[in-house]
A and B are shown apart, each in its own frame.
Chain A
Amino acid sequence: MPVTYDQVKTVAAELYGSALKKVPEDTKAALARAREAETNPVAQNVLSMMLGSARRAEEASRHLCSDAGIPTYFVKIGTAARLQGNIRQAISDGFDHLVATIQPPILKHVTNPLTLERGYKGKSMPLVSFELVDGADYVEITCSPKGLGAGRWAALEIFSFPTLDVIERYVMDCVLKAGSQHCPPVVIGVGIGGTFDYCAKLAKQASLRPFGLVNPEPILADMEARLLDAVNKTGFGPMGTGGDTTALAVHIDYAASHGFIPVAVCFNCWINRRASARIYDDGRIETFE
């Protein structure tokens, strides 16, 4: 039984909807820990409201944010999975279905960059990237509705043979530039190496990594821990009104590169929108955050 157009369409719509209404469990736990550890009374209040908002959104099936973002999907295709129908079209149709049916309705954020007109559709929407997973018998879809608040502050720079301190300094520069504006506490995704385009994707995908996993590259595991401390020493705090919690996590990935080495930094706001599913060749569907 192959992975079908209908399954992919349904999953694409459902992932988007759930990302808008549910803060991932690991993120809620991290916010609760931050609430306990905070020493700043204003920040304590802001974190309590975040937890309250997350709870209320789930209970009442409400959007957390008015910015529903633009549709972005990452698709991993297992080489042992069979596909039936137009899978790219299924994702596009899934998003259209979401727009037509979701309650409450979402606002128009898809923007024509040449005219600044806004709607639900546009060239290349939804943004979908595909990769292959050798031997896997599933199609994995990850949805990341990206809003302006956090999306605005992503940045990339290309260095020539940078040492680790240069890379870390660049991450900190991006953090200071975003300042109070990206709905902290954020998840910070960092990509190092590859090429211009590949590096940006590494950063974005790193930002979607679940919490609590250890980076298999010891240099990066060490860098993640140090940068998290460093970012939280800046003092911007929840919603940027001061406090000890500016980031919940720093997630880094890398790829080999030339001597010109890109470093990309991106942010996911505190609601940390991400939702994934695997559609197996035998018809099973598993969702995860």
Chain B
Amino acid sequence: MPAIKSLTLPMTEQSVRELVVGDLVTLTGDITITAGLPTHRRIIEYMEAGRPLPIDITGDTLFHLGSYSQETDGRFEVLYMNPTTSTRFNSLMPGLIRHYRLRLIGGKGGLDMACTQAMQEVGCVYLSFLGGGCPLLTDAIQSVVAVAWDDLISHYRLVRLRVADLGPLVVAIDSHGGSIYEQCTRTAEERLPEIMKALDAERGHRVVPSAATKAPDEVQPVR
């Protein structure tokens, strides 16, 4: 198992540039999250109008994490959080990365090469969170620092959280143009001719076990 790097937020450009794809990291400090497409559009409206955001993300973080934030007597509590698919925001992220000089972004599923290019320019990395990781990721939340745009549904809000040892997360895109996603796609495409050849060659030759297994129709419920 590779060593896990403990990162303290906020991070400088220099320390972000020391990270490379495949690193495992944990985060301690304050992060900003949202899972909403409308939120991203609103951030861009603010950016274009030169208006300050209710939560400043300059030189900071913006993670694609959805959260259930519950308000009681004006105080917010985050009951759980979990990543959403970042590729949904591909077209919007390069502008945000450049304008706010984001240092750490992330979610799950990755971002495209236009985003990777913007990240390389400003010194930013993309972290992969475990989808379906609510129980572990939520345990890292220490407190809710701020909740903005609560006219939006819970997972679309812009939320600032204080976290301790959030992770481990995988550095999946680094600030040197390296992207695990690009690498995986390229590898899969390169391997595809061989994979198809093996599928053809083995057709009809796979031994299928029969003794220890049942046909689907025979399956009985348990309990």
Contact = CB atoms under 8 A, between A and B. Distances in A.
Interface stretch (A3-11, A62-70, A75-83): A62-70
B184 A64 contact: no
Interface string B56-86: 0000000001111010000000011110110
Interface residues of B, number: 69
B223 A287 contact: yes
Contacts of A168: 196, 199
A176 B192 contact: yes
A225 B205 CA distance: 10
B85 A62 contact: no
A60 interface: yes
Given A41-B2, A226-B206, A240 B181 contact: yes
Interface string A146-175: 001100100000000000110011001000
B216 A213 contact: yes
A222 to B, nearest CB: 5
A181 B188 contact: no
Contact of A221 (B35, B181, B200, B208): B208
Contacts of A164: 203
Given A164-B203, A214-B213, A226-B203, A236 B135 contact: no
Contacts of B214: 213-214
Contact of B1 (A41, A57, A105, A106): A41
Contact of B128 (A230, A239, A288): A239
A226 B65 CA distance: 36
B208 A56 contact: no
A240 B109 CA distance: 7
Interface in A187-223: 209-210, 212-216, 218-219, 221-223
A278 interface: yes
A180 B219 CA distance: 33
Contacts of A235: 184, 187-188, 191
Contacts of A97: none
Nearest to A220: B208
A261 interface: no
B49 interface: no
Nearest to A148: B85
A242 interface: yes
Question: Which has the most chain A C-beta neighbours within 10 Å: B82, B134, B191, B213?
Answer: B134
A183 interface: yes
B170 A42 contact: yes
Contacts of B131: 65, 149, 183, 239, 269-270
B136 A53 contact: yes
Measured as residues with beta carbon below 8 angstroms from the partner, the interface class of chain A is 35 or more
Contact of A62 (B135, B192, B200, B210): B135
A105 B2 contact: no
B154 A107 contact: yes
A72 interface: no
Contact of A148 (B24, B84, B216): B84
Contact of A276 (B70, B80, B82, B221): B221
B130 interface: yes
A112 to B, nearest CB: 13
A67 B66 contact: yes
A96 interface: no
B172 interface: yes
A52 B215 contact: no
A233 interface: yes
Given A179-B185, A222-B206, A236-B188, A213 B219 contact: yes
B152 to A, nearest CB: 10
Given A106-B68, A183-B132, A216-B217, 11 more contacts: A41-B2, A152-B85, A164-B203, A168-B199, A172-B196, A226-B202, A226-B206, A229-B198, A235-B184, A236-B184, A242-B183
